[in-house]
């Protein structure tokens, strides 16, 4: 997965995680959840198998970092996406829908 320069950093290893494991997290997220249903980041982080080896708090940070990288990529390259891949609720990205 790309790491756009404008991606807000959630934790110090965020860029490396997104570049190495971001595609895996994003694909499992899209395969697991229906579209147009609000999902909490906590719930998704706890249910994704690719994040299960990590502690609950770390899972949330990793998923949030992947989502923020996708948001930044959409802003940087909107022509690659057409429609936004997900909608976020609130300022702190606690809920989203695909």
* 90 band by pLDDT with thresholds 50, 70 and 90: confident
* 89 band by pLDDT with thresholds 50, 70 and 90: confident
Domain ranges of the chain: 14-97
Task: Please give the pLDDT value at position 62.
Answer: 97
Across the range 35-50, mean pLDDT stands at 96
What is the helix (H) or strand (E) element at residue 97, kind and residue range?
strand 95-97
* 73 band by pLDDT with thresholds 50, 70 and 90: very high
Q: Please report, rounded to a whole number, the percentage of residues in the chain having pLDDT higher than 90.
A: 93
């Amino acid at each position: 997965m790309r790491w756009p320069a404008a991606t807000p950093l959630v934790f110090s290893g965020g860029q490396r995680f997104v570049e190495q494991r971001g595609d895996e997290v994003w694909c499992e997220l899209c395969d697991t959840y229906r579209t147009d249903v609000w999902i909490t980041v906590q719930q998704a982080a706890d249910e994704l198998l690719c994040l299960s080896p990590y502690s609950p708090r770390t899972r949330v940070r990793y998923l949030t970092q992947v989502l923020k990288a996708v948001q930044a990529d959409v802003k940087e390259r909107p022509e690659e996406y057409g429609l936004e891949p997900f909608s976020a609720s609130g300022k702190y990205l606690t809920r989203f829908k695909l």
